[in-house]
With several copies, the nearest count.
Chain A
Amino acid sequence: MQHEDLLPRDTPVALIDKDGATVSDEQYALPDAETLQRAYRGLVEGRRINDQAYALVRQGRLAVYPSSHGQEACQVAASMVLGDHDWLFPTYRDSVAVISRGVRPADAMVLLKGDWHSGYDPAEHRVAPQSTPLATQLLHAVGFAQAAKHRGEDTVVLALCGDGSTSEGDFHEALNFAAVFHVPVVFFVQNNEFAISVPLSRQTAAPSLAHKAIGYGMPGQRVDGNDVAALLAVLGEAVDRARSGGGPSLVEAHTYRMQAHTNADDDTRYRDRDEVKAWADRDPLSRMQVFLRAQGLLDDIAQQTIADGAETIAAALRDALNADSDLDPEDLFRFVTAERSPQLEEQWQLLRGEIERASLTDAGGHR
Chain B
Amino acid sequence: MTMANDIEIETPHVVGTMTMAAAINRALADAIAEDPDVVVFGEDVGALGGVFRITDGLAERFGEDRCFDTPLAESGIMGTAVGMAMNGMRPVVEMQFDAFALPAFEQVVSHVAKMGNRTRGAVRMPIVIRIPFGGGIGGVEHHCDSSEAYYAHTPGLTVVSPSTPQDAYSLLRAAIASPDPVVFLEPKKLYWSKGEVDTSVTADLGTARIAREGTDVTVLAYSAMVPVALEAAEIAASEGRSVQVIDVRSLSPFDDATVTAAVRSTGRAVVVAEAPGYVSVASEIQARVFERCFEYLEAPVRRVTGFDTPFAPPKLEHWYLPDADRVLDAIDSLHWDDDAEGAAR
List residues of A whose CB falls within 8 A of some B CB: 63-64, 111-118, 121-123, 128-129, 132-134, 136, 138-148, 150-151, 164-165, 167-170, 172-174, 176-177, 180, 195-198, 202-204, 264-266, 269-270, 325, 327, 329, 331-339, 341-344, 347, 351, 354-355, 365-367
CA distance A136 to B103 in the complex (A): 10
- B103 to chain A minimum Cβ distance, whole angstroms, is 7
Task: Say yes or no: B65 contacts A140, CB within 8 Å.
Answer: no
**Which residues of A are found within 8 Å of B115, using beta-carbon distances?**
129
**Which residues of A are found within 8 Å of B102, using beta-carbon distances?**
133
- Which residue in A164, A172, A264, A367 is a CB contact (below 8 Å) of B325? A367
B61 close to A (CB within 8 Å): no
CA distance A342 to B121 in the complex (A): 19
Task: Say yes or no: B76 contacts A174, CB within 8 Å.
Answer: yes
Q: What does the 1/0 interface line of B78-122 toward A look like (CB < 8 Å)?
A: 111111111111010000000110110011001100111111111
B13 close to A (CB within 8 Å): no
**Which residues of A are found within 8 Å of B313, using beta-carbon distances?**
111, 114-117
- Which residue in B86, B91, B310 is a CB contact (below 8 Å) of A336? B310
List residues of B whose CB falls within 8 A of some A CB: 1, 3, 39, 43-44, 46-49, 51, 65, 69-76, 78-89, 91, 99-100, 102-103, 106-107, 110-111, 114-124, 138-143, 155-156, 158, 178-180, 206, 235, 253-254, 256-257, 278, 307-310, 312-316, 319-320, 323-326, 328-329
**Which residues of A are found within 8 Å of B179, using beta-carbon distances?**
337-338
Question: Chain B: which residue is nearest A142 at the CB level?
Answer: B80
Question: Chain A: which residue is nearest B156 at the CB level?
Answer: A336
CA distance A165 to B88 in the complex (A): 27
Q: Which of B46, B91, B155, B314 has the most chain A CB within a 10 Å cutoff? A: B314
> Given A170-B107, A176-B71, A332-B312, 18 other A-B contacts at CB below 8 A?
A63-B139, A64-B140, A111-B313, A117-B114, A117-B117, A117-B119, A139-B80, A140-B83, A144-B84, A146-B83, A167-B71, A170-B76, A197-B48, A202-B71, A332-B320, A335-B117, A337-B116, A367-B325
Closest 5 CB pairs of A and B: A143-B83, A139-B79, A114-B314, A143-B80, A173-B76
Task: Say yes or no: A118 contacts B118, CB within 8 Å.
Answer: yes
- B61 to chain A minimum Cβ distance, whole angstroms, is 15
Task: Say yes or no: B76 contacts A139, CB within 8 Å.
Answer: yes
CA distance A168 to B138 in the complex (A): 27
CA distance A335 to B297 in the complex (A): 36
CA distance A155 to B140 in the complex (A): 31
Q: Which of B70, B107, B156, B313 has the most chain A CB within a 10 Å cutoff? A: B313
Task: Say yes or no: A143 contacts B86, CB within 8 Å.
Answer: yes
CA distance A140 to B313 in the complex (A): 23
**Which residues of B are found within 8 Å of A332, using beta-carbon distances?**
307, 309, 312, 316, 319-320
Task: Say yes or no: A63 contacts B116, CB within 8 Å.
Answer: no
**Which residues of B are found within 8 Å of A336, using beta-carbon distances?**
116-117, 155-156, 308-310
Task: Say yes or no: A140 contacts B86, CB within 8 Å.
Answer: yes
CA distance A212 to B82 in the complex (A): 25
Task: Say yes or no: B79 contacts A329, CB within 8 Å.
Answer: no
CA distance A344 to B319 in the complex (A): 15
**Which residues of A are found within 8 Å of B310, using beta-carbon distances?**
117, 336
Task: Say yes or no: B110 contacts A344, CB within 8 Å.
Answer: no
Give 26 pairs: A residue, B residue, CB < 8 Å, sorted on A. A64-B140, A114-B315, A121-B119, A133-B99, A133-B106, A136-B110, A139-B82, A139-B83, A140-B79, A140-B82, A147-B87, A164-B71, A167-B71, A167-B73, A169-B103, A170-B75, A170-B103, A173-B79, A198-B43, A265-B51, A335-B120, A342-B1, A342-B256, A347-B309, A366-B323, A367-B324
**Which residues of A are found within 8 Å of B49, using beta-carbon distances?**
269
- B52 to chain A minimum Cβ distance, whole angstroms, is 10
**Which residues of B are found within 8 Å of A266, using beta-carbon distances?**
48
Task: Say yes or no: A142 contacts B79, CB within 8 Å.
Answer: yes
**Which residues of B are found within 8 Å of A129, using beta-carbon distances?**
115, 118-119, 123
- Which residue in B111, B119, B138, B319 is a CB contact (below 8 Å) of A63? B138
Given contacts A136-B111, A336-B156, contact A174 B315 (CB under 8 A): no
- A111 to chain B minimum Cβ distance, whole angstroms, is 6
Question: Chain B: which residue is nearest A162 at the CB level?
Answer: B72
**Which residues of B are found within 8 Å of A147, using beta-carbon distances?**
83-84, 86-89
**Which residues of B are found within 8 Å of A338, using beta-carbon distances?**
116, 121, 124, 178-180
Task: Say yes or no: A136 contacts B79, CB within 8 Å.
Answer: yes
CA distance A339 to B158 in the complex (A): 11
**Which residues of B are found within 8 Å of A111, using beta-carbon distances?**
140-141, 313
**Which residues of A are found within 8 Å of B85, using beta-carbon distances?**
143
- A156 to chain B minimum Cβ distance, whole angstroms, is 13
Question: Chain B: which residue is nearest A338 at the CB level?
Answer: B179
Given contacts A143-B84, A196-B48, contact A339 B320 (CB under 8 A): no
Task: Say yes or no: B107 contacts A347, CB within 8 Å.
Answer: no
Given contacts A132-B140, A332-B316, A335-B120, contact A143 B180 (CB under 8 A): no
Question: Chain A: which residue is nearest B181 at the CB level?
Answer: A337
CA distance A180 to B323 in the complex (A): 46
Question: Chain B: which residue is nearest A180 at the CB level?
Answer: B71
Task: Say yes or no: A136 contacts B69, CB within 8 Å.
Answer: no
Given contacts A139-B75, A354-B325, contact A343 B89 (CB under 8 A): no
- A55 to chain B minimum Cβ distance, whole angstroms, is 19
Question: Chain B: which residue is nearest A203 at the CB level?
Answer: B71
CA distance A339 to B1 in the complex (A): 9
- A181 to chain B minimum Cβ distance, whole angstroms, is 8
Question: Chain A: which residue is nearest B141 at the CB level?
Answer: A117
Given contacts A140-B79, A342-B257, contact A204 B106 (CB under 8 A): no
**Which residues of A are found within 8 Å of B43, using beta-carbon distances?**
195-196, 198
CA distance A335 to B254 in the complex (A): 18
**Which residues of A are found within 8 Å of B70, using beta-carbon distances?**
177, 180, 202
